Every structure is written in structure tokens, then in C-alpha cells.
Amino acid sequence: MIRFLHATKTYPNGASGLKDVSFQIPKGEFVFLTGHSGAGKSSILSLIYAEQRPTEGEVRVSGYQISKLGPNDIPRLRRQLGVVFQDFRLLEYHTVEENVAFALEVTGARKETIPNRVMRVLTQVGLASKARAYPKELSGGEQQRVAIARALVNDPHILVADEPTGNLDERATRGVFQLLREINAGGTVVVMATHNMELVRDTGYRTIELKGGRVVYDSGVDQAAGAES
Amino acid sequence: MIRFLHATKTYPNGASGLKDVSFQIPKGEFVFLTGHSGAGKSSILSLIYAEQRPTEGEVRVSGYQISKLGPNDIPRLRRQLGVVFQDFRLLEYHTVEENVAFALEVTGARKETIPNRVMRVLTQVGLASKARAYPKELSGGEQQRVAIARALVNDPHILVADEPTGNLDERATRGVFQLLREINAGGTVVVMATHNMELVRDTGYRTIELKGGRVVYDSGVDQAAGAES
Amino acid sequence: MKHRTPLREALMTFRRTPLLSGLSVASIGFSLFTIGLFGLVAINFQKALQDLAERVEVVAFVLRGTPTETISTASQDITAFPEVLDVSYVTEEQALGRARRELVEFREAYRDLAVNPLPASFEIRLKPEARDAESAQRVAERVRGFPFVEDVRYGRDWVERLDKLRNMAAVVGLVIGLAFAAVAIVIIGVTIRITVLQRAKEISIMRLVGATNRYIRGPFLLEGAIKGISGGLLAIAMCWATFTIFRTSTTAAGDALVFFGGLQMLLFLVFGTVIGLGGSVLSVGRQLRAV
Amino acid sequence: MKHRTPLREALMTFRRTPLLSGLSVASIGFSLFTIGLFGLVAINFQKALQDLAERVEVVAFVLRGTPTETISTASQDITAFPEVLDVSYVTEEQALGRARRELVEFREAYRDLAVNPLPASFEIRLKPEARDAESAQRVAERVRGFPFVEDVRYGRDWVERLDKLRNMAAVVGLVIGLAFAAVAIVIIGVTIRITVLQRAKEISIMRLVGATNRYIRGPFLLEGAIKGISGGLLAIAMCWATFTIFRTSTTAAGDALVFFGGLQMLLFLVFGTVIGLGGSVLSVGRQLRAV
Ligand SMILES: Nc1ncnc2c1ncn2[C@@H]1O[C@H](COP(=O)(O)OP(=O)(O)OP(=O)(O)O)[C@@H](O)[C@H]1O
Ligand SMILES: Nc1ncnc2c1ncn2[C@@H]1O[C@H](COP(=O)(O)OP(=O)(O)OP(=O)(O)O)[C@@H](O)[C@H]1O
Ligand SMILES: [Mg+2]
Ligand SMILES: [Mg+2]
């Protein structure tokens, strides 16, 4: 589903985001991205949802080559993805339910089904009572859960979650993680960047660790092979 | 230094932030605010730095009564505080060093001393190399550390930190926490909202737990007395 | 939850950001008001010129003693000229009476005359489209051909000056009109661009969630069109107010002033709408490419 | 790291948000351009009226046979009138020569005259400030008092019409000028308000970090003033360009056209600056109260 091949990302201001990163994530996998602050986790995710393009190397996501996406390919790719952004990125002039519904509408879902699906997913993240509120009327953790609900609502093929529990308490963290496991059980690839090492250690899912923009550990492959491929 | 007396906060849209909250924080104390997402932690903090005013009851901070602040009192109060906002609130058109320096300039610090103090605090949070970058060129954790640096730079009497380690890895979390302890050791009151229960358990500082906008536990006082006062 | 349609979404914008929307409409409205003011001045000036042109007249003095039948036949002949609107015959007595009434200075002189020195004349008014120096001269030449016509006058100087004034007014009107229109278009474009910049973040989020450009553009275009048409209405209202105030404050010439006709106002609205729409297409397009 | 001063901060804004700043300046510039265009039309129209007014002249016809000494004394007397600019004496022969030259239609008639029917005359030009119906009449009355003066003419109708035209032009100019100025002020205000709204978040963050209102306001005011003055310069440049294009394209009347003087241009810049500054004061003030 996802394949990085010697991918390098250097930002316009000269800062280095990623250096020669290679890995492969097959269908159905659940992968943690870990590493210190500034290691490159968000950079990897932004290449997957094509906000950034690699400066060198190749990134392939569900058949699309990111560096060669045409203007019409971008929406097509993104509709197969669900993304939880580290900074949430909610539409500030739209209510919670409109924010979630929007992600569903752009996929061309049948209008009649939308309100039900939106309420179901809001209930799953515990925000049914806040459906009519605007993002700035929510607490930090509530905003984060809206972002999670939006990413889940269209049953994506790939779910990309950037630090999705950073503003959540332990109970809410467990709840959200349970949701991710369920959607993964349904066949969705989940890539989750996190600092919550407890979660990483407890679950035993594949972990890719970054340091200074390089992959320094990948529990999914023999380390030597990972460096070579 | 800080005193809440039957403080209630109901937001304009009818949502209830706090209900009849009373507690007192003397000089020099370090206090954790805990509670589920949406419990009211940020609401308490925003009353302290006077972004919000209580709808009922009284809030006193370093001699000022929040509900009766005049237009000139607000900047005066805020210059005694350092605030780490949950959503960072960095000036997006200013560099990292300008963001930090700004908080120092408004206090009327001597111009010659500013660059040194700014670089010192940026070094403390590990961001000296990013001094010339703009906020949107930083990773999530780096932005959070800029927010922390800005709160620390003017040696505040009261430091208010809302989930200051939500986007940080374990090592960075320990580093930031160490900084907060040091500034507390110098006599500054620190009020920190957090979901990191490990930190709360390990350190044994006073903890105020909120639930649905009410104080349900306060390790600093006899619980019955807390409810009464 | 209501379904999202471009129209509902566009209307919601006005409720979500009332101040910004109101300011944009005001800005568009005032820009169009500028054009409207200029337009009012222009059409009133044009009308004044037309009023002047109505006085373009060819006068043919008739030899003393021309028989009445000749006169009436000639009158019919002249009326049949393609340039001529109508012809009236002024007898010698009528001419004298008029001179006594109108030329106060000569009243004394004419009072005691034994013989009427004034000739009879045809006064020939021209059709609106023929009120220029060339046509007047053509008519004058033909009339001069009648054997009983002693002399023909049509104030050549005056007609020629009117011609020049008309050409001049047309050029000035066109140049200044275009300049004002350009100014309005630029200001409106700037306004719409600023409001789109204001929402750059929203647009980029929509793109990140998988919306196609067409899908994002829809509500913006409608919003632009609505702003344009509202601005147009505002401008017409302001023009009307200015016009009314001006007319009542200048009692003398005020009554002669004219306002836009229905078609002109419609054109105005269409212009506003097209600019609102066009501005949105351009500035949203830029934003979509940028993200 | 450089120290933060209001000026540096204001200038940085232009580098940080070049598009938005550029658009604001453009919007201010084009609004002022509107006023400028109107101003150009107004001053040129005024000049045309002045040129016309120069022809206001009182002519006193002198009785045949008045002695030369009387003429020259009278000439000096008349020149001493407060309204009079200068006086020239036209002899009978000069009058006839002029008639032959200028009145082509009468050439035939005057060719074979034995006696010159034309009288000699004083041609009296008035001072610029006295070129109105009232002064002309006053001069005419006084001159009529000389025993050797046969008749006085000053084209009463014509002067009165000029007077009316002047008053009319002044009223129209004032009303329309004020309307245009109002439009420009509103558009500029809107523009500045929009750019402040754009930065509402920055302003609120500054407040939260403990900045006083005065401290926040400084750079915004300077920025507004800089935008205003830049807009003014832009407007003057555009006026000049339009003026030049217009003058070269209308060869006939073009040479007579005038542009603004230095003082007028300075006034224009001051106007732009004041509006830029005023707009910032108002809109930043609102924002500061809102947070
Ligand atoms: N838009 C950008 N422009 C310039 N540099 C950037 C940009 N985004 C990220 N960087 C830099 O690239 C490096 C990696 O950033 P990235 O956001 O991938 O880190 P991260 O692993 O997500 O960190 P965190 O845990 O703090 O979110 C950092 O040093 C950061 O400063
Ligand atoms: N500006 C606002 N307008 C309306 N309701 C608000 C506003 N801010 C907060 N609330 C509501 O008040 C309650 C308390 O919010 P608060 O931000 O204090 O929670 P919190 O404890 O900080 O949560 P978190 O850990 O998620 O940040 C929540 O239910 C929230 O929806
Ligand atoms: Mg990140
Ligand atoms: Mg909070």
C-alpha cells in the first residue's frame, strides 16, 4: 500500500526533514512511527497524504506516485485516506458535524446516509453532544477527537494519524486507540505517529523509529535488509 | 497568589466550563490540574490569565480581581505571568526568536539584554538552531517548546502551562519538566494542566482533579474543607 | 443536519463572517457608485447637449411678394426632405411682432416704422439624427435653390461648435468612463482577493480532506456573484439618493435632470455580478493552485 | 537579532505579507485615483471657464469728433477704476479695418462705403476678480457717465450666463467631489479594516502576552500611514499617466490642458496619509476593544 524508496525531503528554507528513508507497508498493517521531537514523523505522514512531495527518491501510496501526481489525482488519492493532523486543521467557520460531514461529502457519499454516519462516528469519539458547536468552542482534547472522527468517517483504505492522543487523557486515549484497532481489523492500513511509548510497548505492533530524518529502527524487517532496500 | 472562590464559568453558547470552583494556591507552590478531556482545566487557566472572566464567583490573581480588571490592568497582570497555551498561539509572521523576544519587550526589559536572554532560554528548550525559523517551519513539538520558552523568558511570578508536553517525546518531556521545577524552585508559582499521569504520580506535587467543571479531588487540602471554603 | 449545497454554503458565509462580508459588499458597492456617479453626470451632460441640439434650425428668408400658393407648395416640398422634422412659415407681420416682443433694445427703433423691414421666413427644424453641421448645410443648400428664397441662415459657427463639443464630450466621456470602470474593477478584484486570502486556510484544509477544486470553487463563485449583485443594488440606491439630494438642492436646473433608465440599471447589476463572479474565479483559482 | 521598533515592525509587515500589503496599497491608490481623475476634470473645467471669463469686456462707443486730449484723459480715468485691468482705444479706422477682416459676410457691404459708419470705442478689460455681471455693470454705468460716450455694451446676457455656469459648476463640483471623496474614504477604510481583521489573531496573541494597546497600535498606525502615502503616490502616478495619454490622443484641445500643481499634489499625499492613519486608528481600536 505504502512504499518509500530512498525518499529525501529538504524544506525550502534548507531544513532537512527526511534523509534517504526506505520502508514498505503492506495491506492491513498497523505501524507506529516514533522518534524525538523533530525526528521527521510528520514529514513522513505529509508525504503520504501528498501535502509535501519528496525532493529525492520515490513515495508510492495505493498505486499513486506522489512526486508525479496530476491535479486531479490529488483529490482522488486523498479520498481514500483518513488523516488526523497534528494541529487538527478543522474548518473554523463550520460546526463539528459539518466538519465531519464535509469529509464524507467530498467522497460523493449518498446524501441521505451522511447524517447517520456522522452521528455514529461522533458518538464513537464521545462528542455527540457537541455536534452543533464550533471548533473554537471546544477544549483541546475535544478538537482532537473531532479530527479523529473526520478521519474515520469515510472508512478510508489508509488511516494516517499524527499524534492523535497528544491532548487526550488516559481513558480517551484508550478509547481512540481501540477505534484505530477496530478500523485496522477491517483491513485499513493505520500509520500512527506517537510519543506514547506505553502504547507502543504494550501492543507490540510494528514500530519504525526515526532519528534526525533517518530510519534507525524498524521492527517489521531485518534491520540490514531495511537499510539496503 | 491565586484564589478561586465559588467561580463559575458558563460560555456564551450555554456550555458550562466550570461550576462553583474554589481553591487557593499560595506563593511558591507547584500544582497539577488533571481531569478528563473537557473537564475544565483550560477554563481555569484562562480565568487566571484573564482571557475569560468568571460568570459568577471571584477569581483573584496576584492582587487583581479578574472580574474587575480595567483596560490598563490587563497588560500589567499578564506581564507578571508566563503562559504556555494548549494551542501554542505563536505569532506566525515572526521568527522563533522574535516570538520569544516579544514577550520580553512588552515587559520593558532593557534592549541590550534581550538577545542574550532569548538565546539562553531557546538553548534550554533545545531550539537554539531554529531561532531564525518561522513557526510553520517547525515540527509540532518544536512549536510547543517555543511556546514554553516564551513563557519562561520573562521570569514570571506565575507560570501557567496548559498541557505543555502533549507533543513532546519522553526525553523532551523530562527536560521541560525539569525546567519548570527549576523556575518553581526560584519562587515562581507553577500551574500545569496535564494528562501525563506518570508525571503526576512520580513527583507527588499537589494535584487538583476536575470532573465536569467541578473540583473532585484536591491533594493540597482536606477534601471537606476544600468543598466548604 | 442540512445538506450542503453551494448556495446554502455561500449564504452561510454571510452569517459566519458578517463583518467581512459586509465590508466586501460595501467596497464593491462604493466602487460601482463611483461609476454610477460618473454615469449620471455623463447622461445628464448628454441630455443637455441634446436640448441644445434641438435648437439647430435652418431659416430661409423669403422674397417679398411671393404668392401664398408657392409658399404652401414649397413648405410641403421642404417637409419631405429626409433631414427635416417640420417646417413653419413666419409671415412678415409675425416676424415684426416677435422682434418687438423679444428684442427689447430694438423696441424703440421699431415702434414708429411705416414699412416693415423684416422679411417672411421658413423656420426648418431638423430630425434629431440630422442635427449636425453637415446636414444643416445640405438642407441650407437645397433650400437656397428655391427661386423665391432670398437668403438662408443656420448659424454655421454655432452648429459647428456644437459638433465639436459633442465629439469632445464623447472622447472625454469614454476615456474617463473607462478609467473609472478600471478603478472599480481593480478595487473589486482586490476586495475579493483579500477575502479569499482570509480564507486561504479553509481552502487548504478542504483540499487536504480530498475536495476537488470544482467542489471548493462552487460556493466561492456564488458568494462572489451575490456580493457583486448586492454591491450593484447598493450603488444604485446611493446614486438615487445622491441624485435626489442634488436635484432638490439645485431648484433651478434640477427639474431637467434625468436618472438611469431600467435597462441601464439592469446593465449596472449585470456588470456588478460579472465582476463579482470574475474576481472570485481568478482569486480562488490562484489560491487553489497555490495549495 | 535586531531591536524591535515600530518603524522596523511596520516595514517588516510589507515583507511578511507582500501580497496583502500590495493589494491594500493598490486599493488605496485606485480610490485616490478616482478623486484625482475627478480633480483633473474639475481644474481643467475651471481653467476653461477662466479663459472664457477673460473675454468679459466692456465696450464704450465714443461720439464722433471727440478731441484726442479728452480721449487720453478719459483713458487714464477709466484705467484707475478699481475693477479695470486695462483700456485700449480703438479708432474709427481701426474699427473698420477690423470689421473688414473679421466679418467676412459684411466685407462686400463695407467695401464701397464713402463714409465710415463705425464709431470709435474704448475696449475695457476687467481684472480677474471683477469678471462677473455685477462688476461689469458697475463699470458700464460709470463709463456711461462720460459726456462723449454714445453707448456702452458688455454682453449682459453672456456675462450673466457665464455667472450662472460658474455657480452651477461650483455646486456640481462640490457635490460630486464630496461624493467621490466619501467613496474613497469608505473604500480605504474598508481595506484597512480587512487587513486588520486578517491579523486579528496576531493582535489577540500580543494582548495575551501582555502588550499594551499603545504598544500594539504603533506599528499598525505607521503601516497605515505608509500605505496611505504609497497609495497617494500611486494615484498621482496614474493621474499623470492618464493625463499624458489623454493629452497626446486629443491633439486639438490637448495643449490647453493643465495638471495639478505641486501644492495640490502635496495636499493629495497628505490626504492619503491622513486617511491611512485614521483608518488604522479606527480599525485597530475596534480590534483592541474586541479582544
Ligand atoms: N514546513 C517546514 N519548513 C521547514 N522545516 C520544516 C518544516 N516542517 C518541518 N520542518 C523541519 O523538519 C524536521 C522534521 O519535522 P517533523 O515535523 O517531521 O518532525 P516530527 O517528528 O513530526 O516532530 P514532532 O514530534 O515534534 O511533531 C524538523 O527539524 C522541522 O524543524
Ligand atoms: N470558548 C468556549 N465556548 C464554549 N464552550 C467552551 C469554550 N471553551 C471550552 N468550552 C467547553 O467547556 C468545557 C471545558 O473546556 P476546557 O477547555 O476547560 O476543558 P479541558 O479540561 O481543558 O479539556 P482538554 O483536556 O480537552 O483540553 C468543555 O466541555 C468545552 O466544550
Ligand atoms: Mg510532528
Ligand atoms: Mg484544555
The residue in chain A having the minimum alpha-carbon distance to the alpha carbon of residue C16 is A93
- Most B CBs within 10 A among D19, D205, D209, D291, hence the mutation to make, goes to D209
Q: Which residues of C fall within a CB distance of 8 Å from D197? A: 19-20, 198
Query: What is the pLDDT at residue B16?
Result: 94
> How far apart, in whole angstroms, are the C-alpha atoms of residue A146 and residue A160?
15
Residue nearest atom 19 in ligand 1 by C-alpha distance = A38
- Most C CBs within 10 A among D104, D151, D183, hence the mutation to make, goes to D183
Query: What is the pLDDT at residue A77?
Result: 95
How far is the centre of ligand 4, averaged over its atoms, from the C-alpha of D206 (Å)?
Answer: 21
Q: Which residues of D fall within a CB distance of 8 Å from C156? A: none
Residues 6+ apart with CB under 8 A from C116: C92, C93, C95, C96
- Could you identify the residue written with the cell 496614474? D238
- CB-CB under 8 Å, C190 with D26: yes
Residue B122: pLDDT above 90?
yes
Q: D23-75 pLDDT, tens per residue?
A: 888 888 888 888 888 888 888 877 877 777 777 788 888 888 888 888 888 88
Q: Which residues of C fall within a CB distance of 8 Å from D20? A: 194, 197
Residue nearest atom 5 in ligand 1 by C-alpha distance = B137
Specify the ligand 1 atom closest to the Cα of A43. 18
Q: Which of A8, A9, A10, A11 for a ligand 1 pocket mutation test, highest count of atoms within 8 Å of Cβ?
A: A11
Query: What is the pLDDT at residue C258?
Result: 83
Q: D160-184 pLDDT, tens per residue?
A: 777 777 777 777 778 778 877 887 8
Query: Strand ranges (DSSP E) for C63-201?
Result: 84-90, 120-126, 149-153
- CB-CB under 8 Å, D195 with C198: no
> Looking at chain B from residue 32 to 91, which residues have their Cβ under 8 Å from any Cβ of chain D?
49, 51, 71-72, 74-75, 78-79, 81, 83, 85, 89-91
- CB-CB under 8 Å, C206 with A102: yes
Instruction: Give the mean pLDDT of D231-259.
Output: 80
- CB-CB under 8 Å, A114 with C208: no
The residue in chain D having the minimum alpha-carbon distance to the alpha carbon of residue B91 is D202
Cβ neighbourhood burial of C19 (10 Å; 0-12, 13-18, 19+): exposed
Q: B125-149 pLDDT, tens per residue?
A: 999 999 999 999 999 999 999 999 9
- Three-state DSSP class for C251? helix
Residue D251: pLDDT above 90?
no
**How close B2 comes to chain A (CA, Å)?**
23
The residue in chain C having the minimum alpha-carbon distance to the alpha carbon of residue A90 is C205
What interface predicted TM-score (ipTM) does this complex get? 0.84
Question: CATH says D57-153 is which class?
Answer: alpha beta
Q: What is the pTM of this model?
A: 0.82
Q: Which residues of D fall within a CB distance of 8 Å from C26? A: 186, 190
Query: What is the pLDDT at residue B118?
Result: 96
**CA quadruple A56, A59, A64, A66: dihedral sign:** negative
Instruction: Give the mean pLDDT of D73-89.
Output: 87
Counting as contact any 3 or more CB pairs under 8 A, the partners of C are A, D
Q: Which residues of A fall within a CB distance of 8 Å from C207? A: 74-75, 78
Residue nearest atom 1 in ligand 1 by C-alpha distance = B137
Q: Order the strands of the D57-62 sheet from edge to edge.
A: D84-90, D120-126, D57-62, D149-153
A2-10/C149-153 β-pairing: unpaired
- CB-CB under 8 Å, D207 with B102: no
The residue in chain D having the minimum alpha-carbon distance to the alpha carbon of residue B72 is D212
**β partners of residue B30:** B190
- CB-CB under 8 Å, C19 with D168: no
Residue D106: pLDDT above 70?
no
The one-digit pLDDT tens for each residue of chain A (229 residues) are 899 999 999 999 999 999 999 999 999 999 999 999 999 999 999 999 999 999 999 999 999 999 999 888 999 999 999 999 999 999 998 999 999 999 999 988 899 999 999 999 999 999 999 999 999 999 999 999 999 999 999 999 999 999 999 999 999 999 999 999 999 999 999 999 999 999 999 988 999 999 999 999 999 875 444 444 4
**Which among C16, C208, C215 has CB closest to A89?**
C208
Q: Order the strands of the A158-162 sheet from edge to edge.
A: A81-84, A158-162, A189-193, A30-35, A206-211, A214-218
Specify the ligand 2 atom closest to the Cα of A138. 31
Residues C280 and C228 sit within 8 Å (Cβ to Cβ): no
Residues 6+ apart with CB under 8 A from C13: A93, C21, C219, C223
Cβ neighbourhood burial of D108 (10 Å; 0-12, 13-18, 19+): exposed
Instruction: Give the mean pLDDT of B205-212.
Output: 96
Query: What is the pLDDT at residue C113?
Result: 55
Give ranges for CATH 3.30.70.3040 in chain C.
Answer: 57-153
B206-211/B214-218 β-pairing: antiparallel
B56-61/B30-35 β-pairing: unpaired
How far is the centre of ligand 1, averaged over its atoms, from the C-alpha of B101 (Å)?
Answer: 22
Distance of CA D79 to CAs D66, D88, D156, D160, D165, Å? Answer: 19, 9, 21, 24, 28
- CB-CB under 8 Å, D242 with C180: no
Residues 6+ apart with CB under 8 A from A73: A64
Query: What is the pLDDT at residue D242?
Result: 84
Query: What is the pLDDT at residue A9?
Result: 97
- Neighbour count for residue B164 (Cβ, 10 Å): 27
- CB-CB under 8 Å, D3 with B106: no
- Regions of chain C short of the pLDDT cut 50: 104-109
Residue nearest atom 23 in ligand 1 by C-alpha distance = A38
State yes or no: chains B and C have 3 or more CB pairs below 8 A. Answer: no
Residue B37: pLDDT above 80?
yes
Query: What is the pLDDT at residue B226?
Result: 43
Query: Pick from A105, A87, A101: which is nearest to A46 by CA?
Result: A87
- pLDDT confidence band for B191 (50 / 70 / 90): very high
Counting as contact any 3 or more CB pairs under 8 A, the partners of B are A, D
- CB-CB under 8 Å, D210 with B75: yes
> How far apart, in whole angstroms, are the C-alpha atoms of residue B118 and residue A131?
43
Q: DSSP letter at A52?
A: S
Query: What is the pLDDT at residue B229?
Result: 42
> How far apart, in whole angstroms, are the C-alpha atoms of residue A138 and residue A127?
10
Mean pLDDT (chain D) is 81
Helices H, strands E: what count in chain A?
8, 10
A64-65/A56-61 β-pairing: antiparallel
- Could you identify the residue written with the cell 482577493? C193
Q: Does A24 touch chain C (CB under 8 A)?
A: no
- Neighbour count for residue D143 (Cβ, 10 Å): 22
> Looking at chain C from residue 149 to 188, which residues have their Cβ under 8 Å from any Cβ of chain D?
168, 171-172, 175-176, 179-180, 183, 186-187
B189-193/B30-35 β-pairing: parallel
Which residue would you say has higher pLDDT here, D252 or D228? D228
DSSP per-residue codes, D135-181: HHHHHHHHHHTSTTEEEEE--HHHHHHHHHHHHHHHHHHHHHHHHHH
H or E segment at D36? helix D18-53
State yes or no: chains C and A have 3 or more CB pairs below 8 A. Answer: yes
- CB-CB under 8 Å, A38 with B141: yes
